[in-house]
Amino acid sequence: MKLENKKVLVTGASRGIGKTITEKFIAGGAEIWGLDIKEPEDLQERLENAGGKLHWINADLSKTTEVEAVIEKALKESGGFDILVNNAGITRDNLSFRMSIEDWQKVLDINLTAAFLIARVVGREMIRKRSGSIINMASVVGIHGNGGQANYAASKAGLIAVTKSLAYEMASRGVRVNAIAPGFIESDMTAAVPEDARKKMIDSIPMKRTGTQEDVAEAALFFASESSSYITGQVLTVDGGMFI
């Protein structure tokens, strides 16, 4: 198994891509600390199915002054993480001229600031052990921009810049830092997209389909495992060819 005995922190693990990554990594032999603002309804069942390989942390990553303490505590309990998946993220879409400063700030706080703080706390410990892999969930929107998503695009572009900067800082200490840039993936986040916009979107994707959470989880597994041992500072786009 690719992740035998690896300890992993996954943020935004309640549902969607984070949940799928959690399940895939447990199947790969990892022990997971799942963090989310919302406890999933099926938590008890998931804990039982994982047979001791899943632990749960309730935390609100928008409370940026509290994030470091939450992660320090998780570090102590786990004994240190081998892999971090900074996956939690939100959208608060609006045209730039109508966007409230609160919606701007909230998206930046969760998607960028919290991810940076978590990477610093977890990364410090990885450096001590001279090994680790950090995976940041960005977006194609962070590379190309998107109308109505200035806050989200800025947060994901920032996350890509953090990924590359941390990769430079940590490479000689055995820690790799990479990002995944998903395109249009089926999840609760994208469920609200109206049917006509969805059709248009699919038409614009060369592979003529939306992505699955499994597609993204496979990319995360690649960056988490030794299969990518000579790769750092990279952004892997998972978008069916939407941007080639």
Residues making contact with ligand NAD (CB under 6 A): 12, 14-18, 36-38, 60-62, 87-90, 110, 137, 139, 182, 184-185, 187-190
In the complex, what is the shortest distance from the CB of residue 28 to ligand NAD, in angstroms, rounded to a whole number?
19
| Residues tagged active-site | 152
Written as six digits, the tokens of 200 are 């248009």
DSSP letters for 159-201: HHHHHHHHHHHHGGGTEEEEEEEE-SB-SHHHHTS-HHHHHHH
The answer to whether 189 touches 16, Cβ cutoff 8 Å, is yes
CA distances from 125 to 2, 80, 132, 170 (A): 22, 7, 9, 11
Is the CB of 27 or the CB of 205 nearer to ligand NAD? 205
AA identity, residue 218 = E
Is the CB of 110 or the CB of 121 nearer to ligand NAD? 110
In the complex, what is the shortest distance from the CB of residue 144 to ligand NAD, in angstroms, rounded to a whole number?
12
AA identity, residue 183 = G
When computed from its CA atoms, the radius of gyration of the chain, rounded to whole angstroms, is 17
Helix, strand or coil for residue 87?
coil
Is the CB of 109 or the CB of 173 nearer to ligand NAD? 109
Is the CB of 27 or the CB of 212 nearer to ligand NAD? 212
In the complex, what is the shortest distance from the CB of residue 186 to ligand NAD, in angstroms, rounded to a whole number?
7
Written as six digits, the tokens of 121 are 């706390």
